[in-house]
Amino acid sequence: MTPTQLSAIRVPAWAWALLALAAFAVLFALQANDAVLGADKAMWLHELTHDARHALGVPCH
């Protein structure tokens, strides 16, 4: 018996949008804190995510 190839699963447009949103959320959390927040809160989140950012190899000081 030859194994059958598993087929692709249809990706609706909203799922592609979700992909873009998730990718942006990662970027926001790790680097572009000021893309959404004001300067004070962005600085706070920047400091809070300091170790995670370094550990994930994202450029930092």
Q: Using CB under 8 A as the criterion, which residues of the chain lie in contact with other proteins when the complex forms? A: 3-12, 15-16, 18-19, 22-23, 25-26, 29-31, 43-44, 47-52, 54-61
Closest contact distance (angstroms) between CB of 42 and other proteins is: 11
Closest contact distance (angstroms) between CB of 58 and other proteins is: 7
| Number of helices followed by number of strands (H, E) in the chain | 3, 0
Closest contact distance (angstroms) between CB of 56 and other proteins is: 7
Say which amino acid occupies 53. Answer: R
Residue 18 has which token pair?
């979700």
What angle is formed at CA 35 by the lines to CA 34 and CA 39, rounded to 5 degrees? 25
